[in-house]
Amino acid sequence: MTLTGEAAADWRTLVAHQRPEWPSPAELGDVADRLAASPPLVTPQECDTLTAQLARAAEGKAFLLQGGDCAERFDRLSAQAIHGKLRLLERMAVILTYASAAPVVKVGRMAGQYAKPRSRPTETVDGRTLPVYRGDAVNGIGFSQAERRPDPARLLRMYDASRHTLDVMRAFARGGTDLRQLHQENEDFVARSPAGARYGELAGRIGQVLSSEDACGGDPSRTTELFASHEGLLLDYEAALTRHNPRSGRRYAGSGHMLWIGDRTRQLDGAHIAYFATIDNPIAVKLGPATTPEQALALIDRLDPDRRPGRLTFIVRMRAHRVRYLLPELVEKVTASGAPVVWVCDPMHGNTFEAPSGHKTRRFEDILAEVAGFFEVHEALGTHAGGLHVELTGEDVTECVGGGADLGFDDLHRRYESACDPRLNGGQALDLAFRVAEMFNP
């Protein structure tokens, strides 16, 4: 049954920032009806399991690793491409588990990450101006009038692509991962990496722990648990996939386990907050540098009035040199209010800039500096650094500069494939995991 009644009507009367200019309300209505008649992609039980694990992260007893593409693409759905990202998350999780001495909760920015908020509505190339690309769920990336026209039929493709990706994720999780194998791959990375000497000791310690578990008869190959998350930007899509259980009275977004509200759509009087208040999934809000403590407290009141541990995550993205002075007041006031939020660091979105070649890029050192600042703030306040939110891919792309292999501006043209923001490649993501591991054990 789809969401009906007051809660559903409520967000529709408010401004939905970043809503595409869908050309035909009738066509959009048809698509919404078809989605409403389709099975949800995730179950309430799975969502509740994730909420429970995030509740542990809020207490410092688990660590969230959330990662994947900035924007997924309909034409990159091979099992191989999806496995590449999952395997990378698993390899990072091995490092972070042993460093944090806590379970790592793995959540893909996957199986639904198809819609992008944009800073400008149009894009100009060689003097020609067209509507901006808003993600495969809305329009095409090709620079033509036809491609850039929002097409509601794309929402059905988003559903199919998400279902396919979740199928691959579920099969991957059931197949399990062999910790020794993952660790061996990390050892190979350390041996090859120009920065490997730095990580050798930590990798060695992880290897020792794994061997002693082996010796104690522990089974290092095990099924693994993976969750799916995306920005809940397109409310027409999200509402059509929301299901209400009349017995429990609870409503869940059926499009993914965890949904977040972007920094551009978190207006307290906006449609996104109103819709998110009606669902019971674990949810997150991105907090940029303009966030005031009063706004953070008001977000908690709107989105987590019952102060349910694990329900609400704040994904902070301040910028490397600002996190140390912007974050403390937010954390202090939220902590003083008693709200059990999970604090997660997104060290990507505050640190984007344009390279001389015109590519959007990020410096590995800035990403690292923002994570370090985030950890230091929590350490100083006695609160918990609950997780990391990153844009990454298992592919050997050249989109961010720096890292162990020290990619430069001149490398960016070699393999820049992101449809939107620059991602860490496999090596840079492992570099980051090792460097964050050092932050747990300074």
Point out which residues bind ligand PEP (CB under 6 A): 70, 117, 262-264, 286, 317, 349, 421
User: Shortest distance, CB of residue 286 to ligand PEP, whole angstroms?
Assistant: 4
State the nearest-atom distance from the C-beta of 341 to Mn ion, in Å. 22
Residue among 177, 183, 174, 175 nearest 212 (CA)? 183
Which SS3 state, helix, strand or coil, does residue 390 take? strand
Could you count the other beta carbons within 10 Å of the beta carbon of residue 230?
Answer: 27
Q: Which is nearer to Mn ion, 58 or 344 (CB)?
A: 344
**Residue with Cβ nearer ligand PEP (28 or 432):** 432
Nearer to Mn ion, 300 or 392 (CB): 392
Q: Which does 263 bind (CB under 5 to 8 A by kind): ligand PEP, Mn ion, none?
A: ligand PEP
Closer Cβ to ligand PEP, 44 or 117, answer by number: 117
Task: Say which entry of Mn ion, ligand PEP, none residue 29 contacts (CB below 5 to 8 A, set by partner kind).
Answer: none
Name the residue with the smallest CB distance to ligand PEP: 262
117: partner contacted, choices Mn ion, ligand PEP, none (Cβ within 5-8 A by kind) = ligand PEP
We find the least distance from the C-beta atom of residue 70 to ligand PEP, in angstroms, to be: 5
* Distance (Å, whole) CA 241 – CA 2: 7
* Number of residues forming the site for Mn ion (CB under 5 A): 2
Minimum gap (Å) between residue 352 Cβ and Mn ion: 8
* 309 or 422: CB nearest Mn ion: 422
Q: What amino acid occupies position 426?
A: G
At 215, list the tokens.
Answer: 């010796």
**Identity of the residue, 391 or 431, whose beta carbon is nearer to ligand PEP in the bound complex:** 391
Pick the closer one to Mn ion by CB: 70 or 239. 70
- Which residues, numbered 57-76, are part of the site for Mn ion (CB under 5 A)? 70
Report the residue number, 243 or 389, with the smaller CB distance to ligand PEP: 389
| Residue 372 sits in the site that holds Mn ion (CB under 5 A) | no
Task: Determine if 346 is a binding residue for Mn ion (CB under 5 A).
Answer: no
C-alpha span between 442 and 403 (Å, rounded): 20
Q: Please tell me whether residue 127 adopts helix, strand or coil conformation.
A: coil
Compute the least distance from the CB of residue 117 to ligand PEP, in Å: 5
Q: What is the smallest separation between the CB atom of 420 and Mn ion, expressed in angstroms?
A: 6
Nearest distance from C-beta of residue 337 to ligand PEP, angstroms: 23
Under the binding rule (CB under 5 A), the answer on residue 421 touching Mn ion is yes
Cα 361 from Cα 328, distance rounded (Å): 27
Q: How many angstroms separate the CA atoms of 163 and 330, rounded? A: 37
State in angstroms the smallest separation of the CB of 192 from ligand PEP. Answer: 30
Contact present, 257 and 232 (Cβ < 8 Å): no
Q: Which is nearer to ligand PEP, 189 or 314 (CB)?
A: 314
Structural contact between residues 331 and 317, judged by C-beta atoms closer than 8 angstroms: no
Helix H or strand E segment including 144: none
| Strands of 114-249, DSSP E | 122-125, 128-131, 177-178, 221-222, 227-231, 242-245
Residue 67 contact among Mn ion, ligand PEP, none, beta carbon within 5 to 8 Å by kind: none
**Alpha carbons 171 and 148: distance in angstroms, whole number:** 35
Helix (H, G, I), strand (E, B) or coil at 122: strand
- The least distance separating Mn ion from the CB of residue 76, rounded to whole angstroms, comes to 16
| Rounded-to-integer distance, Cα 116 and Cα 332, Å | 31
Q: Which amino acid is at 95?
A: I
Distance CA 250, CA 357 (A): 50
* Cβ neighbours for 118, distance < 8 A, ≥ 6 positions apart: 18, 132, 133, 134
In this chain, which stretch among 214-222, 321-329, 393-401, 414-422 interacts with Mn ion, using CB under 5 A?
Answer: 414-422
> What residue ranges bind Mn ion (CB under 5 A)?
70, 421
